[in-house]
Every structure is written in structure tokens, then in C-alpha cells.
């Protein structure tokens, strides 16, 4: 019975992609790494790769997740976008995508704009050139996270679908209201019959820091983020406890002040300057790194960091200074 419920709620994405001649082997290896990255996302049930057949000229990838929410989190993730940027050299034109589910849709982890166009078959080349120009312009704006273009699927979807993503609603709005966008839209007047839908779940987080201080989408794995928070929270809380101890505040006041200070310290010091630099490669592994190697390396760093602080605090509180 439970299995039937899980199956009924599952969401499936079917993505078709033409691959450049001679790139098939490289594409298959790249796609395998991408599927391995998907396995770290919540709700992942499986992924399959099917090569072209006489009846189906595309490579077909099928992703199965336990809900539309989890499927969308993967499809629109920064991790997948990074892989797509690397793998674009294998693609022969836009992909197709179809999502099948009995569940309800929810929000994506980035601010995503979905634009659909009806394009006459005689205008496809002009449309693709215009879309390329659109991407060139929007990619110059701060917060741009990538774009995907999907061809129509005969009998299922007649429109061309474009997804483009920004890291925040503010950055997206800057593009949508820009003079550059108005100019590009004016150049494509014959494609002005389109629908635009924005999916907004932008947020700040302890993991929203790149090396240059700009925001970035959160890491894909809830387990990894939890362990990363542990690595930062342990030394922060202990150091605060030692710093506040001489004040001899009542327990309820001490916890109130300590929690407030730890929140600020975690947000502005511990996470951006200690945890993210230490575990950044593990939280957002690069496309070329194998999943198993990334997992083991990250767990090793976590273990060493926690062991280091445990030894330091043992020596401080037991050997050099004992709390009454």
C-alpha cells in the first residue's frame, strides 16, 4: 500500500537531447556524472540514460523523484546548471523536456522565469538567433544563473519553452525592467506572442556566499548542509559560552544573549569565512569530480575539523581552565 502511494506521488522528467556526431561517448560519460550528482538530492528515486534508436533520434534521460517539489529542486538547481554549462559543447541544439506527475507543483530553489513561444516552422532559425541574442544580453546582468531552451514535443507541447534563472527577485527584476531587454524584445516583434511565468523562492542562507561575496543557490544535500552547520556551530557556541561565562548571567538570560550572538556570528563570520571556504568543494562539488570521491573527502574534512575543535576545547576547559 505504501509503495503504491509513493509511486502515485512520484514525478518523472523525460529529457531528450540531440548530441553532436563524434561526441556520443563523452556525452554519455558526462551524463553519467550528472545523474550521480542528482542522486544526492532529496527524493531521488533513479535515473536512466537511453541512446538514440531508429525511431528516437535523441538521447533520452529519465529522472524519477518522489515529488514534483524534489524534481524541480534538482531540475532548477545550481549544481545541474553548472553541469549544463560544461556539457553544452556536446549538444546539437535545444533539448526537449516533459514532466509527468500526479502531484502538485511547488516552488523552485532559484528565481526562475518560464517563457513559452509559439513559433512558425519557417521562423525557427530566426527564433534561435534571437534567443541567442537574448541570452547574451541577460547573462551580463548580476545574479544570472543560466538558461535552458526546450523544443516543442509533437502532440504534447506546441510551444518552445525557455527557462532562465536568477539568484534573487531583485536581480531578476533588474533584467525584466531593463532597457536592454526592451531593445531585444523590440528586435523580435514577430515573436511577441509569448507567456511569461515567474517562480520565486529566493532566499538568503548561511550557504549563500561565493568567494566574491555574491549570493549563490544552496547546496543540494540536506545531510551535507546539516554536517556543515555542525562544523561551524560547535566552535561558535563553545567560544561564546567561554566568553560570556565571566558575566555570570542567569541561565535564561545567558541562552537568550548567546543564541542572538551565535546567529550573527554564524551568518557573518563562521559560515562565510570558515565553513564555506573549508567545505565549499564538498557542498557544491564540481562537475568533473566523482561523487564517491567527493563524499569521502568531505566526510574526512568534517571529521578532522570536529576532532580538532574537540581537542582544543578539551585542553582549554579541562587542562588549562575548569568551569565551576
Q: In this predicted structure, what is the pLDDT of residue 217?
A: 45
Take residue 56 and report the three cell numbers written for it.
528516437
How many Å apart are CA 86 and CA 82, to the nearest integer? Answer: 7
Q: Does 186 have pLDDT greater than 50? A: yes
Domain ranges of the chain: 1-104, 107-203, 222-320
Nearest-Å Rg of the Cα atoms of the chain is: 24
DSSP 118-154: ---GGGHHHHHHHHHHHHHHHTTSTTEEEEEEE--BT
Closest CA to 172 of 108, 111, 110: 111
Q: Which CATH number fits domain 107-203: 3.30.70.100, 3.40.190.10, 3.10.180.10, 3.90.1150.10?
A: 3.30.70.100
Closest CA to 168 of 144, 149, 135, 197: 144
Same CATH topology for 1-104 and 107-203: the answer is: yes
Q: In this predicted structure, what is the pLDDT of residue 104?
A: 38
How many Å apart are CA 218 and CA 174, to the nearest integer? Answer: 22
Q: Does 96 have pLDDT greater than 80? A: no
Q: Are 215 and 168 in contact (CB under 8 A)?
A: yes
Take residue 4 and report the three cell numbers written for it.
503504491
Q: Does 201 have pLDDT greater than 50? A: no
* pLDDT tens-digit map of 222-254: 677 788 889 999 999 999 988 888 888 888 888
* pLDDT tens-digit map of 46-55: 888 888 866 5
Q: What is the mean pLDDT of the chain?
A: 79
Q: Are 283 and 231 in contact (CB under 8 A)?
A: no
Residues 6+ apart with CB under 8 A from 32: 49
Query: CATH says 1-104 is which class?
Result: alpha beta
Amino acid at each position: 500500500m505504501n509503495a503504491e502511494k509513493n509511486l502515485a506521488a512520484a514525478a518523472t522528467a523525460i529529457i531528450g537531447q540531440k548530441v553532436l556526431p563524434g561526441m556520443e561517448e563523452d556525452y554519455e560519460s558526462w551524463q553519467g556524472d550528472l545523474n550521480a550528482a542528482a542522486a544526492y538530492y532529496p527524493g531521488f528515486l533513479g535515473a536512466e540514460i537511453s541512446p538514440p534508436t531508429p525511431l528516437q533520434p535523441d538521447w533520452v534521460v529519465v529522472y524519477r523523484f518522489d515529488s514534483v517539489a524534489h524534481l524541480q529542486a534538482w531540475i532548477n538547481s545550481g549544481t545541474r546548471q553548472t553541469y549544463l554549462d560544461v556539457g553544452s559543447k556536446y549538444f546539437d541544439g535545444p533539448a526537449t523536456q516533459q514532466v509527468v506527475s500526479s502531484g502538485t507543483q511547488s516552488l523552485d530553489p532559484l528565481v526562475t522565469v518560464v517563457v513559452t513561444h509559439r513559433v512558425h516552422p519557417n521562423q525557427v532559425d530566426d527564433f534561435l538567433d534571437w534567443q541567442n541574442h537574448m541570452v547574451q544580453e541577460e547573462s551580463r546582468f548580476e545574479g544570472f544563473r543560466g538558461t535552458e531552451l526546450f523544443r516543442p514535443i509533437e502532440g504534447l507541447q506546441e510551444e518552445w519553452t525557455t527557462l532562465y534563472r536568477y539568484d534573487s527577485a531583485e536581480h531578476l527584476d533588474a533584467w525584466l525592467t531593463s532597457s536592454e531587454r526592451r531593445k531585444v524584445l523590440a528586435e523580435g516583434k514577430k515573436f511577441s506572442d509569448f507567456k511569461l511565468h515567474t517562480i520565486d523562492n529566493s532566499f538568503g542562507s548561511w550557504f549563500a556566499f561565493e568567494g566574491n561575496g555574491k549570493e549563490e543557490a544552496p547546496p543540494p544535500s540536506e545531510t551535507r548542509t546539516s554536517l556543515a552547520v555542525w562544523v561551524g556551530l560547535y566552535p561558535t557556541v563553545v567560544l561564546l559560552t567561554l566568553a560570556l561565562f565571566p558575566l555570570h548571567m542567569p541561565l535564561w538570560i545567558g541562552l537568550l544573549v548567546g543564541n542572538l550572538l551565535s546567529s550573527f556570528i554564524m551568518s557573518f563570520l563562521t559560515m562565510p569565512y570558515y565553513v564555506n571556504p573549508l567545505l565549499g568543494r564538498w557542498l557544491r562539488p564540481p562537475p568533473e569530480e566523482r561523487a564517491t570521491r567527493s563524499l569521502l573527502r568531505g566526510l574526512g574534512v568534517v571529521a578532522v575539523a570536529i576532532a580538532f575543535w574537540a581537542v582544543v576545547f578539551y585542553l582549554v576547559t579541562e587542562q588549562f581552565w575548569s568551569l565551576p
